[in-house]
Structure 1
């Protein structure tokens, strides 16, 4: 699958974009399921990434 990041890169002449995906089962359904530990790990990853300046 793809995300909106692809469209952003194309529309904005190469704008830097990234994606962090949380593993899940039954994606795009009423019973989509994730592990709470995976969600917490993604949050911690984002906190670490955003705590430091990003140089392009």
Structure 2
């Protein structure tokens, strides 16, 4: 995840969804309360095995 240039529009929570048919979607990862210390900071978030959800 990379933060943007606008300090007023930095995401602190999100969910990652996936679909194998483009119709039905499942949440495979989510984060809340995240903080980016500077503009355009890149942080790594590991995603678990979606087949185990």
**TM range, smaller chain:** under 0.3
TM-score, L = length of structure 2:
0.24
The structure with higher relative contact order (CA 8 Å, sep 6+) is 2
Between structures 1 and 2, the one with greater strand share: 2
Between structures 1 and 2, the one with greater helix share: 1
